[in-house]
């Protein structure tokens, strides 16, 4: 990363005056040593302890299959991962392969962190169509690859419905936001166990994005601006407030914050909104219940092409030493093409982007994982207009959104005022990054 990009990156991520001390602490260009015929490749990712162990097992297999390559894992939970990456990037001390947090995709791009991938002989792209590869590009360049796919989804407890002798709304024209709201309120008022219809999950980003796209808006525009207005945010808040005021959604105190703590509320609600892949880990917390997935409810006059799939990306560092490029490409190839790796790490991070692996995944998937794979295939088959990645300066947008959710749900602010502040603060953050 050159000096100009480094200064831009520190400004965008808010590192600012900490830059000098960070650089001093990290040093410049402290890439892994190479010697004794072994090429060392650093690989950074995030997740929980179980994911760490699964990936360590997969990397052990990679090393056995690729003698002469040693992978140095750099693992942390999501927040700590981002903090460490800011420090490493400011110091020019970046792992050769790294996962990219959703809100940092174009921030990292603007800082010059990605190396082009389509010239790597050791990276086999033959399983992907030209349309696939085109959709992966950033500013016309194939410089990242998706490591997994997910989509917004409603997860609900089929066991709870059967206990009450109920059926969920069919997946047809009746599956609308208003109909779902009425259903959740009715369920809350009439179930015999005192359960609520849903968690209060207005902060969930992919579901908010689905709402916007159905309303003819979008999260981000092609030129890096916020693609939504106050009405878009206010309408979303209003939908959730209808449920909360009717007692059909858990309060923030009941769910221990704006982001519901699933181990706390998972047996107290019929449904929850989130990412399709969450079923893989969260359903397992309640093995006595059967959970099902549904695609987002749809406005009767929803904008065409509103469906979308979120690509969770990985990249090769731009300044990877020439002597490490082949080994690094082999590691990326293993991540996106290897059946062996898929069998070890599973699907908790999402569905495989590789079409061949997605079909192979059914062979070893759990029943819950099969539901997630099916949702992704449904979304892939749908008409989808372009989706744009989070621009530079958007790294705090979810914090801003969560603050707005809290203000509304705790009745500290009107919906209109909170929505206005959310939009203004996000736009201000984007402007500051420029």
The mean per-residue pLDDT over the stretch 352-359 comes to: 97
pLDDT (tens digit per residue) in 250-275:
999 999 999 999 999 999 999 999 99
Residue 11's pLDDT band, with cuts at 50, 70 and 90, is low
Instruction: Indicate if 152-306+396-433 has the same CATH topology as 17-148+313-372.
Output: yes
Residue-wise pLDDT tens digits, 104-137: 999 999 889 999 999 999 999 999 999 999 999 9
- 29 falls in which pLDDT band (50, 70, 90)? very low
Give the pLDDT confidence of 322-344 residue by residue, as tens digits. 999 999 999 999 999 999 999 99
What pLDDT shows up at residue 89? 84
User: What is the separation of C-alpha 312 from the centre of its chain, rounded to a whole number of angstroms?
Assistant: 6
Query: Does pLDDT of 356 surpass 70?
Result: yes
Q: What is the pLDDT of residue 117?
A: 97
Mean pLDDT within 234-240: 98
Global pTM reads 0.90
pLDDT at 12: 53
Whether residue 372 has pLDDT greater than 90: yes
Q: Which residue has the higher pLDDT, 170 or 391?
A: 391
Residue 173 pLDDT class (50, 70, 90 cuts): confident
pLDDT value at residue 10: 52
Mean pLDDT of the chain: 91
Share of the chain above pLDDT 90, in %: 85
- Whether pLDDT at 5 is above 60: no
At the fourth CATH level, the homologous superfamily of domain 152-306+396-433 is: Periplasmic binding protein-like II (3.40.190.10)
Residue 423: band (very low, low, confident or very high) from pLDDT cuts 50, 70, 90: very high
Q: What is the pLDDT of residues 60-92, one digit of tens each?
A: 999 999 999 999 999 999 999 999 998 998 889
Indicate the domain borders of the chain: 17-148+313-372, 152-306+396-433
Q: How confident is the model at residue 186 (pLDDT cuts 50, 70, 90)?
A: very high
- Tens of pLDDT along 392-404? 889 899 999 999 9
- Let me know: does 367 contact 292? Beta carbons within 8 Å: no
pLDDT at position 373 over 70: yes
Q: What percent of the chain has pLDDT over 70?
A: 92
Q: Indicate the pLDDT class of residue 27, thresholds 50, 70 and 90.
A: very low
Q: Has domain 17-148+313-372 been given CATH number 3.20.20.70?
A: no
User: pLDDT band at residue 36, thresholds of 50, 70 and 90?
Assistant: low
């Amino acid at each position: 990363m050159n000096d100009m990009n480094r200064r831009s990156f520190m400004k965008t991520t808010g590192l600012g005056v900490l830059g000098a001390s960070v650089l001093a602490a990290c040093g410049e260009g402290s890439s892994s040593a190479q010697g004794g015929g072994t090429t060392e490749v650093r690989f950074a990712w995030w997740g929980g302890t179980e994911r760490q162990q699964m990936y360590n097992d997969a990397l052990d297999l990679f090393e056995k299959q690729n003698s002469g390559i040693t992978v140095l894992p750099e693992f942390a939970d999501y927040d700590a991962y981002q903090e460490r990456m800011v420090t490493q990037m400011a110091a020019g001390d970046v792992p050769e392969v790294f996962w990219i947090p959703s809100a940092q995709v174009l921030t990292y791009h603007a800082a010059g962190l990605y190396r082009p991938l389509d010239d790597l002989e050791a990276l086999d792209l033959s399983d992907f169509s030209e349309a696939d590869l085109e959709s992966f590009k950033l500013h016309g360049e194939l410089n990242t690859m998706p490591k997994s796919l997910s989509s917004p989804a409603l997860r609900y407890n089929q066991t709870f419905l059967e206990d009450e002798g109920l059926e969920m709304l069919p997946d047809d024209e009746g599956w609308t936001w208003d109909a779902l709201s009425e259903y959740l309120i009715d369920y809350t008022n009439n179930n015999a166990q005192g359960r609520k219809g849903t968690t209060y999950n207005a902060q969930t980003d992919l579901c908010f994005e689905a709402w916007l796209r159905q309303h003819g808006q979008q999260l981000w525009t092609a030129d890096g601006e916020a693609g939504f207005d106050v009405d878009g945010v206010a309408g979303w808040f209003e939908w959730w407030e209808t449920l909360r005021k009717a007692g059909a959604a858990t309060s923030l105190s009941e769910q221990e914050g704006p982001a519901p703590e699933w181990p706390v509320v998972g047996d107290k609600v019929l449904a929850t909104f989130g990412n399709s892949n969450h079923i893989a880990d969260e359903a397992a917390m309640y093995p006595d219940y059967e959970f099902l997935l549904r695609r987002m409810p749809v406005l009767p006059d929803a904008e065409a092409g509103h469906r979308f799939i979120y690509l969770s990306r990985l990249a090769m560092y731009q300044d990877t030493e020439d002597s490490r490029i082949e080994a690094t490409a082999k590691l990326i190839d293993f991540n996106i093409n290897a059946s062996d790796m898929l069998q070890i790490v599973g699907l908790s991070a999402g569905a495989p982007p590789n079409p061949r692996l997605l079909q192979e995944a059914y062979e070893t998937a759990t029943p819950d994982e099969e539901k997630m794979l099916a949702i992704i295939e449904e979304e892939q088959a749908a008409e989808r207009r372009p989706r744009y990645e989070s621009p530079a300066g958007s790294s705090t947008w979810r914090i801003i959104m969560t603050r707005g959710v809290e203000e509304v749900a705790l009745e500290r602010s009107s919906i209109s005022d909170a929505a206005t502040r959310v939009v203004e603060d996000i736009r201000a953050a984007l402007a500051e990054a420029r």
